Chain A
Amino acid sequence: MAAANGHNSAGRSDVKTSRPEGSKKHVIAFVFSILLTFISFALVMAGEINTDFVYIMLVVLAIIQVFVQMAFWMHMKDKGHGFAIIGILTGVIVVFTCVIMALFWTTW
């Protein structure tokens, strides 16, 4: 074949454990996500907490959950994801600018 030759990216051993459905860390990420979700719901349902604090905590919890899901389930912490990270990060920066502007504009 005269096509440009590539080689497999460095193998990740994500099939580490004895469980038939693969590594524990994916399930741990799942449990962690459920936990973060539960805390978010609880904060709002409790009702008596300072609203500014709740807003901030909700955003923080969401961001943490997204990190957990993207790092573990989408392998972003693994090698070979340089451009993926740049791509998503740039999108996030653009969005961040828009959202900050929207909040600034409506709440200033």
Chain B
Amino acid sequence: MAHAHTVKRHTGIMDWLTTVDHKKIGILYMLAGGIFFLVGGLEAILIRLQLMYPQSEVVSAQTYNELITMHGTTMIFLAAMPMLFGFMNAVIPLQIGARDVAYPFVNALGFWTFFFGGLLLNISFFVGTVPDAGWTMYAPLSGTTHTEHFGTDYYVIGLQIAGIGTLIGGINFLVTIINMRAPGMTFMRMPMFTWATFITSALILFAFPALTVGLAALMFDRLFNGNFFDPSAGGNVVLWEHIFWIFGHPEVYILILPAFGIISEVVSTFSRKRLFGYSSMVFATILIGFLGFMVWAHHMFTTGLGPIANALFSVATMLIAVPTGIKIFNWLFTLWGGSIKFTVANLFAIGFIPTFVMGGVTGVMLSVAPADYQYHDSYFVVAHFHYVIVGGLIMGIFAGLHYWWPKMFGRMLSEKLGLWTFWTFYIGFHLTFFVQHFLGLLGMPRRIWQYLDGMGLNELNFISTIGALLMGVGTILLVINIIITNSKPKTASNDPWEDGRTLEWTIPSPAPEYNFAQTPLVRAYDAWWEEKMEGNTKMTPVEPIGPIHMPSPSILPFFMGLGLFIAGFGFMYAREFGTVSLVIGIAGLAITFICMGLRSWIDDHGFHIEEEEILKDQGVKA
């Protein structure tokens, strides 16, 4: 069945701008997320430098507020989530034996909307009006009465655009996992990272619309004289908190569940042992996801919801510790009795476990509502969430980077440099954040620009800053590792760790454009490991080698993102520049909608990769 489609293959930068290939999109996410991670890290260093000594003036108070706001916003939305999406894109289709995600075009669109949203947000630095009301943007501080300048608008519009990308990404992975698993891969044979992605995507689907509404409401209040959060017109400021945290709490589970998935993969691979208690791991992940929607008001214990509400949310929050604990014990039992290889990936994973537990137990402390009246808005909270996000999520990401780097790039990151990265980052991390628990207990509030001398806070703040600098060194070492590795030849084998358990290790490194020359038959959990244990050197294919249909690349996702970017600026400045700005906003939307129409109207026939090319690839790897 030969179709005479002209093969549309771009090269160079056009290749990257038009790609709909999940592997390339994964790399784009990693790159953009990595750059934003460095930006957020720089913001963090500046914050810590300001707090190194009492009553410092390293930066002005206004700049400090901007730094803390952008640090949180950038790290969560523009660094952590994109890097996780990078892994999901790079790995999920490979782990389930598929050739791409369900919607390759929409996948690219998700990346470009994230990119333009993040760009918009950071352009605020160059314009001089930076978001400064905290990453949580509480009303009424975020309204026009108290924040007249455009900083908040950059936040609202930037996140709204980036949020669209996340939402469609979530739907993409859900459908991919539901509909496109290889034959034989039942749900209970999926790798843990796939399960984690699945539940995370469900959380994204149901949490992000709440953020959409909250941001829209704040935007309407600011741009169109709305009254959602204006008490003088009957609005309610606590309503913002409810809406924000109904999104915000599931958001932190969106951050951590994929990391849990990575830890499961890394720990079991480098213990040469099947993950202990797979079914309970799956069940625990689902339970954590579900309970994550039931606890949002634990961020609001001090807003006067009353003792009954506080009690209910306290108990629900404590409950989440149970399935999380199950996961911790399962990882420990996987390691126990295993043949452990202390690769850098595994070091990050093993380092994750006690660190995350520490973050988790301070979480249980915070969940006790009466106690929270003391902890709330103090450095104790800051310590808690950095332990789980940095000590948890970021360590998980670093583990995943080292683990999957060969599959993504065909090269192994240097283990030696990796060791240095691990130890500097890990020690730096604990130095930075362990002392912050005590700062909180000593009464140091969050988000303060300066603290007075003689309050007993000097030494701990100093140590915390030294730790932060050490983390900076660790990060720089990682960047150096990446740069050096990039210049080495691509010599990684299919299964470079030699103990690969899952399907991604059955194909070349980096994966060929079509992923699998022949879709594999899955006969068990840890599908590849099972085949290896039976003495097979490759997976059994379910189809003969034949031409493979691929989706066409397209420049439309880029333009759709650009259209939203332009629209964002247009609408945002309408309250200062009037009709002209509004027209620009509408023009931007028109670009986006026209591209949508074009996409609908013009059928994508795709192109084929022919048998000869596939056989050639196979021949090269004897």
Contacts and interface: CB of A to CB of B under 8 A. Distances in A.
The reply, when asked whether chain A contacts chain B directly with Cβ atoms under 8 A, is yes
Interface of A: 1-4, 6, 83, 87, 90-91, 93-94, 97-98, 101-102, 104-105, 108
A91 B242 contact: no
A32 B306 CA distance: 43
17 contacts: A1-B1, A2-B518, A2-B519, A2-B545, A2-B546, A3-B549, A4-B182, A4-B183, A87-B205, A90-B202, A94-B206, A97-B294, A98-B210, A98-B242, A104-B309, A105-B305, A105-B309
Contacts of A6: 179
A104 B518 CA distance: 56
A102 B545 CA distance: 58
Nearest to B181: A4
Given A94-B293, A98-B246, A105-B305, A4 B180 contact: yes
A105 B304 CA distance: 10
Nearest to A102: B242
Secondary structure at chain A's binding surface: helix, strand, loop or mixed?
helix
Secondary structure at chain B's binding surface: helix, strand, loop or mixed?
loop
A108 B246 CA distance: 20
B140 interface: no
A94 B518 CA distance: 41
A72 B202 CA distance: 26
B206 A2 contact: no
B519 A4 contact: yes
B606 to A, nearest CB: 10
Interface of B: 1, 98-99, 178-180, 182-183, 202, 205-206, 210, 242, 246, 293-294, 297, 305-306, 309, 518-519, 543, 545-549
B306 A1 contact: no
A94 to B, nearest CB: 5
Contact of A97 (B178, B202, B293, B549): B293
Contacts of B246: 98
Nearest to A93: B293
Given A2-B519, A2-B548, A101-B242, 7 more contacts: A4-B98, A6-B179, A94-B206, A97-B294, A102-B242, A105-B242, A105-B305
Contact of A91 (B98, B180, B206): B206
A7 B610 CA distance: 25
A93 to B, nearest CB: 8
Nearest to A83: B178
A68 to B, nearest CB: 25
Contacts of A97: 293-294
Contacts of A93: 293
A91 B250 CA distance: 13
Nearest to A94: B206
A101 B545 CA distance: 57
Contacts of A1: 1, 546-547, 549
B549 A2 contact: yes
Contacts of B182: 4
Given A97-B294, A98-B246, A105-B305, A3 B99 contact: yes
B388 to A, nearest CB: 23
B293 A2 contact: no
B306 A108 contact: yes
A1 B322 CA distance: 47
A56 B39 CA distance: 53
Nearest to A95: B206
B185 to A, nearest CB: 11
